[in-house]
Structure 1
Amino acid sequence: MDFDKLKQKVSERALDRQDVSLNPPDSGLQFEEDIFEEKLSETARSRSSAARRITNSFSWLGPALVLLAPIPFGSNRPVLWMFWCVVLFLALAIFAGAVAARDPGRSIRVSSLRGLIAIGLCIPLAGLVQLVPLGILNSLPAHIPPDLVPRRMSLSASSSLMAALRILSYIALFVIVVATSLRPDRVKSRLHYIFYAVFAHAVLGLVMLTVLGDISILGPKESYEGFATGTFVNRNSFATFLGMGLVCGMALLMDRANRRRMRRPGKLSLLSPERIELLMFASALGIVFIAQVFTASRAATASTLVGLWVVYVLMSAKARGSILRPLLRGGGAIAVLTLVAFATFGSDLLDRSLTIDSAAGTRLDLYKQVIGMIAMRPLSGYGLDSFRIAYELFHELPVSTAFTWSLAHSTYLALWVELGLVAGTLPMIAVGMVFVRSFKSYLNRTTDFVAPVATLGAIVVAALHSTVDFSLEMEANVFLLIAICGLGVANLRPSRSTKVSPE
């Protein structure tokens, strides 16, 4: 046997195997896979970018509604309710469909709010249950003939159905605002534009009161002459709208001041761009407050001052690390602001404050009768949006019978009359959940806490005023509160942009 030839063949085979290992036969396929993966990555980035553009476009819905909804009577008309229902249902459907089509793997990030949304959905569901014929639950005053007792729990089926649709549209708006508020810079930007929308209405309200000779949106006023009502009919509703905008603007102003202080410690020169910018923003806040004082709404002004105090304390506590000094300073500042407002602009407000006893007496008589209504139907209620019809069955002296009382002048009592004590408490639970979540966000965040603080302030204003008035039964005010709350409870993720506000 020729061992030299055998050794040479073994060496050649080893070299062949080495060559195969260095250049596998599917190396061309591997190269094609790399190109395919790169194309997939580019496609994913393109889809994600398209979805972000869609999200950014729909994030303008909140500020747009805050600007447009108050123009026709605060949107407090059935035809306007249905119009906004169509707009919001279509907006949610188009938004969800467009995101799903552009980026199928992308989800609308509201999963952490499922409990809150579920409670919200139970409210219109309770209204629809009232349309079921359950005559056994329809207890009414003894003087009502049995033949006139309706078969349904709701005394006005059409009103209850319309109200259920309206509440569903509120949930649609909330979902859109939360789903489009993922980036801190976008949240702060939209919060700014919400305040600018309220500021625009404050300016318009003052112009309509003074320059244009105290007119309403349709011309000469039929009521509330001499008071700022803006495009609303009722001055108290306009005052609540301005109050929620004020606390939003206060949070933004203090956020600007705190960020300026961190960037450039020390005092600013009088004519520095930062100082001028802060002064201009503070002037805008002052104009909104002046407009609210000219509404002469006692409860709304008091509620707003409490809301401003809450915002000041929370923002100062984050900036300075202590809460006692902000509590005292804020209380003193609110007291001074109150005195200045009364002395300079608030003669009408002061006059109305001096007559608060007689007004309180009338309200207390009304509330006693309303509580009697609740006691007769504590669980079933009289039907969503059925207060006007239901109250006429109980209306008697000493409450004036000179005109029809279409509202309970307390949103809490109105909810319990219309939905009963159980279902009527659900809206309060939902707002309470938003308050708690916003407060937790405020405590846990070291930055980007201005939206939760604005939410807390807006809820304080709305909740306090709702005890003695019906401002949250005006659709434009509900849109404003939902737009602020949606920004406050949103799940933020880090922004790729360094821009923090539309300054």
Structure 2
Amino acid sequence: MSHRRSANDRIFIALTALIVLAPLPLAANRAWSWSLLTLASALLTLIWVVGRLRGRCHPGLPATKLALPATLFLMALAWGVLQTLPIMPLSWTHPVWTETAAALSRPLGATISANPEMSGHAVMRLGAYGLIFVLATQLGRQRHRAAWGLKSVAVAVLVYGAYALFCQLIELDYILWMKKWAYQGDATGTFVGRAAFGAFAGIGVLACLALAIHRSAAQRPSIGTSERIERLLARTVPWLIASGFLWLAVLASHSRGAFLVTGAGCLALLIAATIGRLVRLRQTLALLLVLIGLAGAAVLADGDITLARMSGEGDLTGDRPNLMRLTWIAIGDAPLTGHGLGTFTSAIMPYRDTSLPRPVLYNHAHNSWEEVIMDLGWPAGLCLLSAVIIPIAGCCAGLVRRRQDQIYPALAVAAATLLGLQAMIDFTVQIPALAALFAYLLGIGYSQSWSAKAYQ
């Protein structure tokens, strides 16, 4: 007898499809693709709201549990919109407008944002991530949907990882049908940058490991030893092998940062699973040894270039520390108003000096934490960061509060560890496909962090 899917099920399937397809068009990091991502997330939200009003869709996480992070997020988003409007006091606006008006000898509509068009795009992307998070909290509460979502993410990243490794194996320097213009010889899959793909594959490592832990925790102690071993081999080991395969993809990206933060994410997942009583301490140690073995095997198979890069110039030498230093100077010049959401490329230009001699445009600060403050200013920037940190803290509390399904908040915490650490030296969390994936996993994890009493 087939199970008839509810309206919530169908919307969740569509949301999951959106998340797993987002990396396909250059990680959705082009105006047309992130516009489609925004439009699709808005349509799915509208469909869910209409279904809710008509009584066909059922709510997930109560609004009271979303009130604080949603309010902080909307405050930051609203400030991002206000930065693009020529209605603020002239003393608040970006100096570029005064200089441009003087050069053209005519007044201009001055804004806080150094580039209102770029800020508009950034507002659009940020709004999409917020909608994805809200939908995931409302639809990811049911166990069967959360389980389906986790497995879908793991399988999708495996497919992308297999494609990237295949292209590298046959020395095909293409992204789909387009010849690579950067990072030739590195596995990037459908991404442009190796660090972004490495982080994406790293989240796949975490998803596969989470499934292995989940399947292992599901083994009932009442069954016999032989049956227990049989189930372990059939249900747990395949996901551990899949995790090792994606370790290969991480290494094939030749991103030393991705390799290190994936290790940190795995450690965070094991600690979270132990705190959540999904595994016992001895099982955690055994899984840790298995992971070390898988990572070691991956290093032996394809780790020479990554290891060589680790012994060379580090992420805290070269352009990055100078970008971070100049970013702090820019923050000091507009600590309350910011320079405009998503305008780093334009806003950093007046601050460039001889420490950045290369004739290249820098689209990001290589420190997303700093860049948020530079873009929005301290008040709105802290609102946005808090809107993300609060659900992560809720997932940490859920590990202790819940008695079942703690694997979802554990995975959310692990993914936050991976992306949060990499955000200190790179901008991978700002790639739309990765940001959308994180919003999806965090939404499911946060929804699964509350006991049944919270829904009464």
In 2: Cα distance, 1:410 partner to 1:150 partner: 31
In 2: Cα distance, 1:266 partner to 1:420 partner: 59
**Cα offset for 1:401?**
3.0
Alignment deviations for residues 480-499 of structure 1 (CA, whole Å, 9 cap, x no partner): 101111110115787xxxxx
Match of residue 36 from structure 2 = 83
In the TM superposition, 1:106-117 aligns within 5 A as: 107=59, 109-111=61-63, 112-117=65-70
Over 3 Å counting, the alpha-carbon distance change for 1:166 and 1:138 in structure 2 is same
Query: Are the counterparts in 2 of residues 227 and 235 from structure 1 also a CA contact under 8 Å?
Result: yes
Where 1:262 maps in the other structure, the secondary structure is coil
Q: Decide which of 234, 237, 240 is 2:193's aligned counterpart.
A: 234
Where 1:467 maps in the other structure, the secondary structure is coil
Over 3 Å counting, the alpha-carbon distance change for 1:415 and 1:318 in structure 2 is closer
Q: Decide which of 343, 346, 357 is 1:386's aligned counterpart.
A: 343
Number of aligned residues: 442
Q: TM-score, normalised by structure 2?
A: 0.89
Q: Does 1:439 align with 2:392?
A: no
In 2: Cα distance, 1:393 partner to 1:289 partner: 41
In 2: Cα distance, 1:463 partner to 1:320 partner: 24
Query: Are the counterparts in 1 of residues 392 and 416 from structure 2 also a CA contact under 8 Å?
Result: yes
Query: Are the counterparts in 2 of residues 63 and 197 from structure 1 also a CA contact under 8 Å?
Result: no
One-letter amino acid of the counterpart of residue 66, structure 2: L
One-letter amino acid of the counterpart of residue 287, structure 1: F
One-letter amino acid of the counterpart of residue 364, structure 1: P
One-letter amino acid of the counterpart of residue 342, structure 1: V
Match of residue 136 from structure 2 = 177
Match of residue 315 from structure 1 = 273
**More displaced stretch, 474-483 vs 424-433:** 424-433
In 2: Cα distance, 1:320 partner to 1:125 partner: 40
Query: Are the counterparts in 1 of residues 175 and 189 from structure 2 also a CA contact under 8 Å?
Result: yes
Query: Are the counterparts in 2 of residues 124 and 163 from structure 1 also a CA contact under 8 Å?
Result: no
Q: Decide which of 160, 169, 173 is 2:119's aligned counterpart.
A: 160
**More displaced stretch, 472-481 vs 336-345:** 336-345
In 2: Cα distance, 1:178 partner to 1:269 partner: 34
Query: Are the counterparts in 2 of residues 310 and 457 from structure 1 also a CA contact under 8 Å?
Result: yes
**Cα offset for 1:320?**
7.5
Q: Decide which of 401, 404, 408 is 2:358's aligned counterpart.
A: 401
Match of residue 252 from structure 1 = 211
Over 3 Å counting, the alpha-carbon distance change for 1:92 and 1:414 in structure 2 is same
Over 3 Å counting, the alpha-carbon distance change for 1:356 and 1:99 in structure 2 is same
Query: Are the counterparts in 2 of residues 311 and 453 from structure 1 also a CA contact under 8 Å?
Result: yes
Query: Are the counterparts in 2 of residues 62 and 194 from structure 1 also a CA contact under 8 Å?
Result: no
In 2: Cα distance, 1:332 partner to 1:211 partner: 32
In 2: Cα distance, 1:375 partner to 1:330 partner: 46
**More displaced stretch, 398-407 vs 205-214:** 205-214
Q: Decide which of 279, 287, 293 is 2:251's aligned counterpart.
A: 293
**More displaced stretch, 298-307 vs 176-185:** 176-185
**Cα offset for 1:102?**
3.8
Query: Are the counterparts in 1 of residues 79 and 376 from structure 2 also a CA contact under 8 Å?
Result: yes
Over 3 Å counting, the alpha-carbon distance change for 1:384 and 1:321 in structure 2 is closer
One-letter amino acid of the counterpart of residue 63, structure 1: T
Q: Decide which of 471, 478, 482 is 2:435's aligned counterpart.
A: 478
Query: Are the counterparts in 2 of residues 250 and 312 from structure 1 also a CA contact under 8 Å?
Result: no
Q: Decide which of 200, 218, 227 is 2:177's aligned counterpart.
A: 218
Over 3 Å counting, the alpha-carbon distance change for 1:318 and 1:178 in structure 2 is closer
Over 3 Å counting, the alpha-carbon distance change for 1:339 and 1:212 in structure 2 is closer
Where 1:260 maps in the other structure, the secondary structure is coil
Q: Decide which of 61, 78, 102 is 1:147's aligned counterpart.
A: 102
Structure 1: state its 5+ residue gaps: 1-48, 495-503
Over 3 Å counting, the alpha-carbon distance change for 1:432 and 1:204 in structure 2 is same
Where 2:384 maps in the other structure, the secondary structure is helix
Over 3 Å counting, the alpha-carbon distance change for 1:193 and 1:357 in structure 2 is closer
In 2: Cα distance, 1:102 partner to 1:320 partner: 36
Q: Decide which of 72, 79, 88 is 2:25's aligned counterpart.
A: 72
Alignment identity in percent? 21
In the TM superposition, 1:355-366 aligns within 5 A as: 355-357=312-314, 360-366=317-323
Query: Are the counterparts in 1 of residues 217 and 279 from structure 2 also a CA contact under 8 Å?
Result: no
Where 1:409 maps in the other structure, the secondary structure is coil
Q: Decide which of 465, 477, 484 is 2:422's aligned counterpart.
A: 465
Query: Are the counterparts in 2 of residues 96 and 108 from structure 1 also a CA contact under 8 Å?
Result: no
Over 3 Å counting, the alpha-carbon distance change for 1:107 and 1:331 in structure 2 is closer
Query: Are the counterparts in 1 of residues 264 and 417 from structure 2 also a CA contact under 8 Å?
Result: yes
**More displaced stretch, 190-199 vs 475-484:** 190-199
**Cα offset for 1:411?**
0.8
The structure whose Rg is larger is: 1
Alignment deviations for residues 185-235 of structure 1 (CA, whole Å, 9 cap, x no partner): 221221111111111111111122223623222332111011100001111
**Cα offset for 1:144?**
5.5
**Cα offset for 1:471?**
0.5
**More displaced stretch, 261-270 vs 240-249:** 261-270
One-letter amino acid of the counterpart of residue 365, structure 1: N
Over 3 Å counting, the alpha-carbon distance change for 1:359 and 1:400 in structure 2 is farther
Match of residue 411 from structure 1 = 368
Match of residue 80 from structure 2 = 127
Query: Are the counterparts in 2 of residues 229 and 295 from structure 1 also a CA contact under 8 Å?
Result: yes
In the TM superposition, 1:292-371 aligns within 5 A as: 292-319=250-277, 336-357=293-314, 360-371=317-328
**Cα offset for 1:362?**
2.6
Over 3 Å counting, the alpha-carbon distance change for 1:290 and 1:222 in structure 2 is same
Q: Does 1:56 align with 2:14?
A: no
Q: Decide which of 73, 80, 92 is 2:45's aligned counterpart.
A: 92
In 2: Cα distance, 1:103 partner to 1:350 partner: 54
